Structure 1
């Protein structure tokens, strides 16, 4: 039994010798395939109401693209792991054009802080890790603009914003190390949302007084001044990101 600690040390020394430790910092871009039944309902009802005068219909917020920055610790070797923190954003635009040359511009902006943990296996300069990411301080905003609008359609114009609930993603990270950088690709999907998700709201006094402060999930009810639920800020979906991170050996 006295030889067991020494034998264990002999087995682990090769793994320790192969491990490389880095502090990393970098930036990249990402794509989110957006999923919101409420936004889909808004698009459908908006096109339905405005069908006679539309030259170009709203297509909906199907995907958003944006930037991300992150920094953290990464271990490369047969045993691969990482802990990173960063910020990410996604933007998506949609446009409806009318026969009288009016244009409805819609822009959706999402951003959050994120903390990720990774664990996996490496081969030479390549690694595959499982990943879990927590998104906090999530914020959503829809900007709606229309020039030369009549009273009914201009009611939609404004900036609707709110905070969103915390979310947890699970996914996979693929990476390649070429001194002095890591090229990293990530794919993840939300598996849990915690806390309360607020509605996107424009809190200007006029909109609150008219009962139209929430961005509508149903445009028909919105213009007819009927009760409607509004669009929740917890807009999420499949995410794909590519990052280049500079690596500093420890």
Structure 2
């Protein structure tokens, strides 16, 4: 299956219905996190809830009802809050990068300070683990992210959003640094390659040449969706891509 246009990935998200330690959400809550290079959008399919965001401009709550669309860019901490059966279609830029570690959870500062400790806390049990064991680990991970998120909120109250976020941004940069060469390879083969193709088509059109039109093609697939897995904010259903 070839990648979707523009290097976009699509997944179906059913937000966790695990009650949150801080009591936010009538049904539950996901794990607060940010993406270091990718943008994300929620298209609400069903249920109700909200997404809480924290960026340099401050904190905001965005209600989620069917038909609502909310998008946020790199560096914006976001937390999906489930008030009942919240289901979202998630669109991500830079397909392949979010799956390769582009997301950083808001763990406490002591965990974020050590990339090895961060990875140990963020990684779920692998093949051979039972679903119950993976779910328990995902819930512990969510609760640890909420612990750090509470600390982040206290820092925002003290020094403002921009200053409070800087240590998180610095830690996120350290955590992902060793992954970037792999990301560059994925991005060059997908998003950048498609951008170059578009640039060439535009250059041809401005000269009155449309040779790229004769190379048009169709890609179709009957590939079944992958089994649901435990993501940052809930149970994710994804589809295989070429990256």
TM-score range, shorter chain: under 0.3
TM, length-normalised to structure 1: 0.19
Name the structure with the higher strand share: 1
Q: Which one has the largest radius of gyration? A: 1
